[in-house]
Amino acid sequence: NRVTCRDWFQLSLKEGFTVFRDAEFSADMNSRTVKRIEDVAYLRTHQFAEDAGPMAHPVRPDSFIEISNFYTLTVYEKGAEVVRMVRTLLGADGFRKGSDLYFERHDGQAVTTDDFIKAMEDANGVDLTQFKRWYNQAGTPRLEVSEAYDAAAQAYSLTFRQRCPQTPDRAEKLPFVIPVELGLLDAEGNDLPLQLAGEAQATGTTRVLSVTEAEQTFTFQGIVAKPLPSLLRGFSAPVKLSFPYDRDQLMFLMQHDSDGFNRWEAGQQLSVQVLQELIGQHRRGEALKLDQRLITALGTVLGNESLDPAMVAEMLSLPGEAYLTEISQVADVDAIHAAREFARQQIAEELFDALWARYQANREVSRNTAYVAAAEHFARRSLQNIALSYLMQSGKAQVLEATLEQFEHCDNMTERLTALAVLVNSPFEAERAKALETFAEHFKDNPLVMDQWFSVQAASTLPGGLARVKALMQHPAFTLKNPNKVRALIGAFAGQNLVNFHAADGSGYRFLADLVIELNALNPQIASRQLAPLTRWRKYDDARQVLMKGELERILASGALSSDVYEVVSKSLA
Residue 455 DSSP class = H
CA angle 266, 75, 6 (to 5 degrees): 150
Q: Does the pLDDT value for residue 65 go beyond 90?
A: no
The pLDDT value given to residue 67: 74
Average pLDDT over residues 316-330: 95
Q: Across-strand partners of 540?
A: 331
Residue 429 DSSP class = H
Give the C-alpha separation, 462 to 485, whole Å.
Answer: 22
Give the C-alpha separation, 353 to 390, whole Å.
Answer: 11
Give the C-alpha separation, 279 to 277, whole Å.
Answer: 5
Helix H or strand E segment including 526: helix 524-530
Average pLDDT over residues 547-560: 96
Cβ neighbours for 204, distance < 8 A, ≥ 6 positions apart: 193, 194
Give the C-alpha separation, 289 to 574, whole Å.
Answer: 42
CA count, 13 A, side-chain hemisphere, 122: 12
Question: Which of the listed CATH numbers 1.25.50.10, 3.50.50.60, 3.10.20.600, 2.60.120.260 matches domain 444-574?
Answer: 1.25.50.10
Residue 459 DSSP class = T
pLDDT digits (tens, 9 = 90+) for 202-227: 999 999 999 999 999 999 999 999 99
pLDDT digits (tens, 9 = 90+) for 417-457: 999 999 999 999 999 999 999 999 999 999 999 999 999 99
Query: What average pLDDT does the structure give for the chain?
Result: 96
Answer for the pair 23, 80: CB distance below 8 angstroms, yes or no: yes
pLDDT digits (tens, 9 = 90+) for 154-202: 999 999 999 999 998 888 999 999 999 999 999 999 999 999 999 999 9
The pLDDT value given to residue 230: 98
CA angle 518, 524, 530 (to 5 degrees): 75
Q: Cα dist. 108→1, 164, 515 in Å?
A: 9, 37, 44
209 by DSSP, 3-state: which?
strand
pLDDT digits (tens, 9 = 90+) for 473-495: 999 999 999 999 999 999 999 99
Q: Does the pLDDT value for residue 296 go beyond 90?
A: yes
Q: Which ranges constitute the DSSP H helices of 303-374?
A: 309-316, 321-326, 333-350, 352-367
pLDDT digits (tens, 9 = 90+) for 98-126: 999 999 999 999 999 999 999 999 999 99
CB atoms within 10 A of CB 135: 22
| 567 conformational bin, left if phi > 0, alpha if psi -120 to 50, beta if neither | alpha
Residue 170 DSSP class = B
Give the C-alpha separation, 383 to 388, whole Å.
Answer: 9
Give the C-alpha separation, 147 to 158, whole Å.
Answer: 5
Q: Which CATH class is domain 4-136?
A: mainly alpha
Strand ranges for 212-251 from DSSP E: 215-221, 228-230, 240-242
Q: Does the pLDDT value for residue 70 go beyond 90?
A: no
Phi, psi of 6 (to 5 degrees): -65, -35
User: Taking Cα atoms as reference points, which of 370, 390, 365 lies closest to residue 380?
Assistant: 365
Cβ neighbours for 356, distance < 8 A, ≥ 6 positions apart: 387, 391, 398
CB atoms within 10 A of CB 21: 13
CATH architecture of the domain formed by 142-244: Sandwich (2.60)
155 by DSSP, 3-state: which?
strand
The region of weakest confidence among 65-74, 199-208, 398-407, 524-533 is 65-74
Q: Does the pLDDT value for residue 345 go beyond 80?
A: yes
The full set of domain ranges for the chain reads 4-136, 142-244, 246-350, 352-443, 444-574
Give the C-alpha separation, 473 to 475, whole Å.
Answer: 5
CA 568 to chain centre: 23
Q: Exposed e or buried b for every residue in 475-507, given b needs 16+ CB within 10 A? A: eebbebeebebbbbbbbbbbbbbbbbbbbeebb
The bridge status of strand 142-150 relative to strand 155-163 is antiparallel
Answer for the pair 312, 264: CB distance below 8 angstroms, yes or no: no
Integer-rounded Cα Rg, in Å, for the chain is 25
Answer for the pair 128, 110: CB distance below 8 angstroms, yes or no: no
CA dihedral 448, 452, 457, 460 (to 10 degrees): 150
Give the C-alpha separation, 474 to 251, whole Å.
Answer: 49
Answer for the pair 128, 98: CB distance below 8 angstroms, yes or no: no
CA angle 435, 438, 440 (to 5 degrees): 105
pLDDT digits (tens, 9 = 90+) for 494-542: 999 999 999 999 999 999 999 999 999 999 999 999 999 999 999 999 9
Give the C-alpha separation, 33 to 267, whole Å.
Answer: 14
Q: Cα dist. 318→271, 295, 307, 314 in Å?
A: 7, 12, 18, 8
Give the C-alpha separation, 369 to 373, whole Å.
Answer: 12
pLDDT bracket for residue 55 (50, 70, 90) = confident
